[in-house]
Structure 1
């Protein structure tokens, strides 16, 4: 008998996908160009920065052939701003901080000024048009002109990337202990938001709308998938039992002659 796997993608599979994210390195040695499945990599010449997939950057880091430059959101100041937005901002009391903009879309400040988000397509070597999505977006590349006062955004794979960089390249980060504390606080606040929306889940289970998960990361979705799907299934069962009890009560009242509803009301109820 085969071992049953949980529904959806597993955390290890999510972490594997996150290793395709592009990060910035500062090489210590020359490296010839490589032909990878994700595309060719130009020759690396120190001290010029280069963008590599996370798995290759971690390999060079373990071999002491390069240093990994942390992305702008993985700084203590940026994480403090994100935590303040998640915990104390009125607009995000029941929502999550906005994700990074897609290529061609305006950032948070431009959206506040009324700029319309328009995605910019990319093209393959054969000329086919496509729209890139994580992990094939430069959301974790280090910025040369980093502004600590700018409102940062958490990328789609922020949990996985922060964990990998803290494990393999903590010496390249600014105050890694404080970063760990801030990441833990952010995760607790965001998980509390996901688990507190029982009323929204109730409405979604009865067909009254959906659950807004804009800004939620891949690992967060993977971890909370069982809770959310289980809660919706149980609420749907509760709603079905209540509906069945109501129909039985109406049938009993109609049989006893105590139900004086009109035909229009019965038709409206059946449509509902």
Structure 2
């Protein structure tokens, strides 16, 4: 019998969806345009900054053919500003992209931050902990949905999925679910809660 697939996206699937996010590079050598399914890439002319998909930027960085330029929010100064804003307000800071955790993880693990990987990793963990507490608090408290949901990242949605399933299942049982059916639903929800997204190494 086939094993049931976990609800939601796996960490690998979430990271894959992030690979087309635009990122700026400074080419170290000329390179002609490449025809991709999504369209042609820009021609690379050093030292003119160029925007490329994240996967291609990381590849060129590993080949020492381009220097990857971190986005302004993924610098120590940018993350300190974001962390201060997150701590100062119950709302979500709108300075981060939807795939901010995945982008940060890719650039830190790829050594793309000019020696500041350790500092950036520590700040990313701090921002992630503050925002994660907000998401879980709003859901459990029944705030009528997560306020500022448009600024919640993809990874954060995956992390809170188990909490949402647990709350929904608890409300269903309070509404009259019981007996064998209720126990079966409870077991399924417990399995879902174990399938939340976890961060990779460095976070």
Deviation at 1:210, TM superposition (A): 3.0
1:159 to 2:101 alignment: yes
How far is the alpha carbon of 1:73 from its aligned partner? 0.5
CA distance in 1, matches of 2:130, 2:170: 25
The 5 A counterparts of 1:91-110 are 92-93=89-90, 95-98=91-94
Partner of 1:11: 11
In the TM superposition, residue 158 of structure 1 has moved relative to its aligned partner by 0.3
Question: Which residue of the partner structure matches residue 82 of structure 1?
Answer: 82
The answer as to 2:48 corresponding to 1:52 is no
> Would the aligned equivalents of 1:75 and 1:174 in 2 still touch at CA under 8 Å?
no
C-alpha distance in structure 2 between counterparts of 1:215 and 1:236, whole Å? 29
Deviation of the 1:194 alpha carbon: 1.7
> Number of residue pairs matched?
175
Q: How does 1:46-195 map to 2 (within 5 A)?
A: 46-87=46-87, 89=88, 92-93=89-90, 95-98=91-94, 153-170=95-112, 172-173=113-114, 175-195=116-136
Unpaired runs of 5+ residues, structure 1, are: 99-152, 202-208, 243-272
**Structure 2: gaps of 5 or more residues:** 178-203
The structure number with the bigger radius of gyration is 1
1:211 maps to which residue?
Answer: 146
Q: 1:229: Cα distance to partner?
A: 2.1
How much is the aligned-residue C-alpha RMSD, in angstroms?
A: 1.7
What residue number does 1:125 align with? none
TM-score by length of 2: 0.80
C-alpha distance in structure 1 between counterparts of 2:116 and 2:110, whole Å: 15
TM-score by length of 1: 0.61
Deviation digits for residues 53-105 of structure 1, max 9, x if unmatched? 00011111111111100001011111111111111x2xx32x2112xxxxxxx
Q: Deviations over 1:239-270 (max 9, x none)?
A: x039xxxxxxxxxxxxxxxxxxxxxxxxxxxx
1-side partners of 2:120 and 2:169: how far apart? Answer: 37
SS in structure 2 of the partner of residue 51 of structure 1: strand
Q: Distance in 1 between matches of 2:98 and 2:116?
A: 23
Distance between the aligned counterparts of 2:45 and 2:21, measured in 1? 21
Partners of 1:174 and 1:70 in 2: CA distance: 12
Instruction: Quote the residue 1:27 is aligned against.
Output: 27
Runs of 4+ in 1 over 4 A off after TM superposition: none
Considering fraction of residues, name the structure with more helix. 2
